[in-house]
Amino acid sequence: MEDTSVTFVVGNSRQIHELSEEETFLLDSHPRVFTINWFPVYWHFAGFRPTHWAQMDCLDRHSVACFNYVLEVLKDDEILISRAKNYFVNSRDTARELEQNLVASGIPFNRFTRGYYPEKNDGIGRSFSEKMLQCASSLVGAVNIAHVLFPETEIRLYGCELAGSPGHFYDRAGDEVNIGQDYDVFTRRMWEGFGILLESGVRVFDCNKKHSSMIPECKKIPKKRLTEGF
C-alpha cells in the first residue's frame, strides 16, 4: 500500500546534490513529490522524478517562452512522464499557451493564482478558487498548493532556495550567483511565509540540512529528517 501520510515539496537549491542514495530513492518512488519551475528540465541531475509539478510564475512573454520550453522537454521524456500525476499552472492571461500545451500532452492539470512579488498576502488559499499564499518564494506557494490537494498529510520541505548556499542545483560549476540586493528581504519573507502556513494549520516540516544564514527563532518551523519513518 502506498504511503500517503507524507507529501514532499522540493525546491531547486544546491542542497539537491547532498541527497543520499536512500533519500533520492525515496523521492523517486514516493507517490506525492512536488517540484517547481525548471526542475523537469534538469531532473536527471537530481536523480529523481516528481509526481506533481507547479509552474509558479507567468509574469511576461519571456516567462511563457521559458515554460513552453519546459513543456516541450516534458513531452519527449517518457521516463519522467511515467511518474506524472498532476501539473499546476498559474492562471494569469499569459498562461493560456501553457494550458493549451498541457491539454495536448494529456497530463491532468489545475489552475491556481498567487500574487505578484513583492506583493504579500497574509492568508493561505484553502481551495484552488482562492489565491495561494505569496511570500516571495515559489516554494511557499507550492506548499500551499500541496496542502490544498492533500490537506490530511504532513508536508516535508527540502531544497529550499537560499538554504545552504545561493543558487540552483542545475547551475554550472563555477557560475557566479547574483543574489541581488533583496537577498535578506527575500529570505526573511520566505520564512515568514512558511510560518504563516504553519500557523494556518499546515503541518510543514523543514528537512533542509543547513541554511545560508541563521533563521530567527520566531521564524523557525519544526525539523524532521527527510526519510524519517520510512
In Å, how far are 50, 166, 208 from 15, measured between CA atoms?
A: 16, 10, 8
Q: Whole-prediction pTM value? A: 0.89
Q: For residue 8, give the H/E element and its range.
A: strand 6-10
Starting at the edge strand that comes first in sequence, how are the strands of the sheet with 109-112 ordered?
A: 109-112, 86-90, 52-55, 33-36, 6-10, 154-158, 204-206
Cell (9 digits) for 207: 528537512
Any idea where the domains of the chain sit in the sequence? 6-219
Q: For residue 60, give the H/E element and its range.
A: none
The phi and psi torsions of 75 (rounded to 5 degrees) equal -60, -35
Residues in a beta bridge with 168: 13
- Rg of the chain in Å (alpha carbons): 16
pLDDT by residue, tens only, the chain of 230 residues = 467 899 999 999 888 999 999 999 999 999 999 999 889 889 999 999 999 998 887 666 667 777 778 878 877 888 998 898 888 878 765 566 667 777 777 777 888 888 766 666 768 999 998 999 988 788 999 999 999 999 999 999 999 865 556 678 888 765 555 555 566 777 778 888 888 999 999 999 999 887 755 566 666 789 999 999 99
CA dihedral 66, 68, 70, 76 (to 10 degrees): -150
Buried b (16+ CB within 10 A) or exposed e, 34-72: bbbbbbbbbbeebebbbbbbbbbbbeeeebbebbeebbe
